[in-house]
Amino acid sequence: MPTALSDHLRRSWRGYAASAVALLLGLLPERPGVPDGRHLEAILARDFISVHTRNTPTTYYLGRQGPTGFEYELMRRFADHLGVSLTLDASHNIPEVIEAVRRDGDLGAAALPLDPTRQGVIFSRPILDLRPLLVYRRGLPPVKSLDDLDGLAIATLGGSGTDLVLRELQAEHPGLSWQESTDLEVAELLGRVEDGTLDAAVVFDHQFRLNRLFFPGVERGFELGEPLSMAWAFPAGRGLGLVESANRFLDELREGGELDDLMARYFGHDDYLEYVGARTFINHVHQRLPTYAELFREAARNTRFDWKLLAALGYQESHWDPEATSPTGVRGLMMLTLPTAGELDVDDRLDPEQSIDGGARYLRSLKERLPESITGDDRLFMAMAAYNVGLGHLYDARDIAEMRGGDPDRWADVREALPLLQEREWHSKTRHGYARGGEPVIYVRNIRRYYEILAYVDRSQQQFHRLNARLPDEQESGVLELIPPIM
């Protein structure tokens, strides 16, 4: 049995060693008799790459518009990079992914921890950090350190990497005990913490951020152990050509900023949720939005917008309160002014159906009135800004953007110019004068974030509509294996 000191040293070097091994593999000479590019050449010849994965919100699942998920996005882009099609087998848990890659797969992509001690596979360079996190049920005394775990029923996922961290900590804290399973997923663990079946769970930080919207009764505790690295797994003994190609692809994504963009898209809204009040927003999603969701869908069908975008705009305007009234006289769920309501033939601004329909038509008219030179998302973001600040002030901001050497057709440049409408030096040069130009910047940012969250909630509800279904007590006993203390 290793001593606490040797185990500590092994843990300290593990992250470095894992990364070093992944980097050095591309430099080592291939074993005699194994052509370096054999595996890659076979994939190119058959015109598809076979990927083994898991059906989870952090990896791959079917959304309303087809396959999605953080690692699915990476797999698809890698297949495009190779110029081949993509075939997936998502029927696995983590140990099964590794075994399938060893046996006959091309690639394993399933939130796999980079572990160079695993036999029969080679790992890519690290994709993102995996930070083990202890979470616990709201209402328990705060859990801030290992000493607070005494007497708690804790669980984690076997083979995910968090189990390895717990085993290393157990060498220093022999009384530590937990349960683990390869048959559950993160959402199921969090559900059991929330309903009291478990007191706490160890998951990765990004997994908690992605799932916490559905489990407001689960609290963040503390990070434990050393961070791991997520990587892709490839079969050993079939050449390094595919591994090297994957490493180059991942390097290009990282250097071009695309990898950061994907991470922000899938895992980046948590801090923002804390800022706006996560529990309030999610409570409104569950309590208020269902009353108006079909009205948003109908308005979206008539105006060719995504209904979730209209819902996000409505939340920003009124928090889905149909009787909202501002000091300036705008009223209703979509907060229409009296003149705008008149132009749209909205007789009763406090009628949710009329308000949502009118707001959607108003946003459509603003978008259509913008110059044709503004395209794509830039056009949508400027239309939303005009909904808040008015089309005239938006045009003034475009003029300022051009004066400053920017592109008046790019939202990024107009966004920088809008706050200058508050400064006399700039608004004195415009047609419509002063405006609180910082507000539409925040306004558009908020709507985009609300939309991202609603889109995630919508697709996750489709994928995990059975999350609240619990196994009978007699079945649950065989799912989690107890790892006893070693003292």
How does pLDDT run across 41-70, given as a tens digit for each residue? 999 999 999 999 988 777 887 654 568 788
299 has a pLDDT exceeding 60: yes
Over residues 270-280, the mean pLDDT reads: 53
Q: Which listed residue (194, 219, 317, 452) is catalytic?
A: 317
24 has a pLDDT exceeding 60: no
Q: Based on the residue annotation, tell me whether 317 is a catalytic residue of this protein.
A: yes
Per-position DSSP letters for 127-140, written without gaps between them: -EEE-EEEEEEBTB
Q: Are 123 and 116 in contact (CB under 8 A)?
A: yes
Please identify which residue in the block is written with the tokens 């180059």.
248
* CA distances to 137, 254, 417, 437, 471 from 62, in Å: 30, 26, 40, 40, 24
Query: What band does 1 get if pLDDT is binned at 50, 70 and 90?
Result: very low
How does pLDDT run across 394-430, given as a tens digit for each residue? 999 999 999 999 999 999 999 999 999 988 889 889 9
Contacts 24+ apart (CB under 8 A), 30-36: 30/239, 30/240, 31/237, 34/237, 34/238, 34/239, 35/239, 36/239, 36/240, 36/241
Distance from C-alpha of 64 to C-alpha of 269, rounded to nearest angstrom = 21
